[in-house]
Structures are given as C-alpha cells and as structure tokens.
C-alpha cells in the first residue's frame, strides 16, 4: 500500500507546487500594476475627464463633465501653430541627435578600446545635474555677449547685431543637448552586439567600407535607431523648458501652452483636450513609424 500511495502523494505535492507557482507571476506583477494604476491610469482618467469639461465652468463655479467634444476643435483651432512647431522642433532635434549620436556610438563601440567605459560615463554624466540647470547653462553659453556669439560675429556667420538666444536655433540646440544621451545609449547597445566578423566577411567579398556599412552595420543597428529616435522624439515633442528659457514667445511649443492653460489661465478643458490631442498624434506617428521602418524585434 505504501508503494502505491507514495507516487500519489508525490503527484499531489507536485500539483500543489504547480498551483502555487501559477500565482507567483501575478504576485510579482502586482506592485507594478498598482504603481501604473495610481500614477498612470488615475491621472489619465482625470485628464480625459478634464478634456470633456463644460468650457463655461471655472475654478470658482466648478467644472462639470458634459462630454463637450468641442473642446478638441477649439484646442486645434487656437493652438495648431504651437502644435505643429513642437512636432517640427522635435523631429529636427531627433534627426540631429541621430547623426551625432550614431557617430559617437559607433566610435565608442568599435574604436574606443579601453576608453569605452570612460566615454560611456561621459555620455551619461549630464544626467547627474538638473535638467533645468543644464538648460540655464545653455542660456549663458548662447548669451548675446558670450563667447559663442562673439566668435560667430567675428567670423561673419552672424551679423554685428545677430543673436542666438531667443531664436529657434537655441531651442533646437537645447533639445539636442538634453536628449542626446537617449539616442546614444540605445545605438551603442545595438552596435556593440554586432559581430565584427560580419563586416570583415563583407570586405572579403569585395564590399567597400561604405557598402559594408549600409549592407551590414546599418541594418543590424536598426533596433537601436528605432529605440533611440522614439526615446528622443516623444519627450522632445512635449518639452517646454527649452522653449521657455532659450526661446521667445514666437518659439512657444505645445508644452508651454498646456502648462500655461493649466496654471495661469486655469482653462482645464482646453488644456486637457490639447494634451490628449498631442498624445494621440504621437501614438499615431509612433505606430506608423514602427510599421514602416521598425524591425522584427519591435513589431
């Protein structure tokens, strides 16, 4: 009898262990799910509710959710220049970051040798200081009587009364500087995994360095390109610090408008609608972008 019950007892214990392990994954996911619920789902619901407020309400009289979808049309009509400007600045800054970041990541991955770790530390070193402080530093660098402007005036690149501060160039330069590490690190992660023997094999098959790059290195680094461009473009499109400190009212981005509507004007309905419009546009662009130029690792 003992011989017959031992396997049964073992099977029962195994079933208990399987049943227990079945819930282990859910318990491990619980902290993250709670965090997302508190700090994403709840604020997102609040934002959607705000976008549907009665536009005739106020902080004093209170707001009511009457599903006024006209808030979206009002937001687009009144603030489409800032919305388009934000997408343009973010796209231009992302392109510049891609060019600079790819060269830098390529040099670190293939040419840095024993200096690789030091260069990676230098790439992320700006993160050890405040985003606001870094932007204020650019305000000093690009000041009208600073070294950069004086040098460009001396070289006749800028006129005698030319300036960089409070222009779109300063805003884009600030965005590029602040978000460049978000481009470099994913690119380096992809380039570092490329087997150098593949490039050597391309050379053995009489491919020029130019051809080997675009036939071997570039396709294999596409996951890093896609990840880097998304990590750069998405926060850059909603940024408002660079436009606030480095630009003029003519360079306002949609982030500045949303911040002003929420805090100064207290027009929660338009601010919520404009925030959702920006979110929808970015999600749509990201989906199209991944489908068009993404890789199997990302779609």
Residue 14 covered by a domain: no
Range of the structural domain that residue 250 is part of: 73-293
Residue 104 covered by a domain: yes
Beta pairing partners, 53: 65
What is the domain count for the chain?
1
Banded model confidence at residue 8, pLDDT cuts 50, 70, 90: low
Residue 283 covered by a domain: yes
Chain segment 133-186, per-residue pLDDT in tens: 999 999 999 988 888 888 888 888 887 778 899 999 999 999 999 999 999 999
3 state SS of 62: strand
To which residue do tokens 């690792």 refer?
Answer: 297
> CB-based burial of residue 274 (10 Å sphere; 0-12 exposed, 13-18 middle, 19+ buried)?
buried
Banded model confidence at residue 281, pLDDT cuts 50, 70, 90: very high
Average pLDDT over residues 188-216: 89
Give the chain's mean pLDDT: 87
- How far apart, in Å, do the first and last CA atoms of the chain sit? 57
Chain segment 11-20, per-residue pLDDT in tens: 556 555 555 5
Q: Is the pLDDT of residue 272 over 70?
A: yes
Q: Is the pLDDT of residue 6 over 80?
A: no
Q: Do 184 and 228 meet the contact criterion of CB atoms below 8 Å apart?
A: yes
Residue 148 covered by a domain: yes
For residue 224, what are the contacts with CB-CB under 8 A and spacing of at least 6?
105, 186, 187, 188, 189, 190, 191
Residue 83 covered by a domain: yes
Q: State the pLDDT at residue 20.
A: 54
Chain segment 122-138, per-residue pLDDT in tens: 999 988 989 999 999 99
Distance of CA 12 to the CA centre of its chain: 51
* pTM recorded for the entire structure: 0.85
Cα–Cα dist 58/129, whole Å: 39
DSSP H helices in 37-69: 42-51
260: domain CATH number is 1.10.3720.10
Residue 193 covered by a domain: yes
Cα–Cα dist 196/255, whole Å: 43
Q: Cα–Cα distances in Å, from 202 out to 20, 71, 85, 111, 250?
A: 52, 57, 43, 19, 50
Residue 263 covered by a domain: yes
Cα–Cα dist 137/46, whole Å: 36
């Amino acid at each position: 009898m003992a011989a017959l019950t031992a396997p049964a007892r073992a099977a029962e214990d195994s079933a208990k262990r399987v049943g227990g392990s079945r819930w282990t994954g859910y318990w491990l996911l619980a902290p993250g799910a709670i965090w997302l619920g508190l700090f994403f789902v709840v604020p997102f619901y609040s934002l959607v509710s705000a976008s549907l407020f009665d536009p005739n309400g106020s902080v004093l009289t209170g707001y009511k959710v009457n599903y006024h979808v006209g808030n979206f049309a009002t937001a687009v009509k009144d603030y489409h220049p800032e919305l388009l400007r934000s997408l343009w600045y973010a796209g231009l800054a992302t392109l510049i970051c891609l060019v600079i970041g790819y060269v830098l990541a390529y040099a670190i991955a293939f040419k840095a040798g024993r200096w690789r770790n030091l260069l990676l530390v230098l790439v992320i070193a700006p993160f050890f200081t405040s985003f606001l402080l870094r932007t204020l530093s650019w305000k000093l660098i690009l000041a009208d009587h600073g070294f950069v402007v004086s040098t460009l005036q001396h070289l006749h690149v800028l006129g005698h009364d030319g300036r960089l501060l409070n222009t779109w160039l300063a805003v884009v330069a600030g965005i590029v500087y602040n978000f460049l590490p978000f481009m470099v690190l994913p690119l380096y992660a992809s380039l570092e995994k490329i087997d150098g023997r593949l490039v050597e094999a391309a050379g053995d098959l009489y491919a020029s360095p130019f051809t080997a790059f675009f036939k071997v290195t570039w396709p294999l680094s596409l996951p890093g390109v896609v990840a880097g461009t998304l990590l750069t473009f998405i926060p850059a499109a909603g940024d408002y610090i660079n436009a606030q400190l480095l630009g003029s009212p003519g360079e306002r981005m949609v982030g500045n408008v949303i911040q002003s509507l929420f805090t100064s004007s207290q027009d929660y309905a338009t601010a919520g609608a404009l925030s959702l419009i920006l979110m929808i546009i970015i999600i749509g662009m990201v989906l199209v972008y991944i489908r068009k130029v993404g890789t199997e690792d990302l779609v």
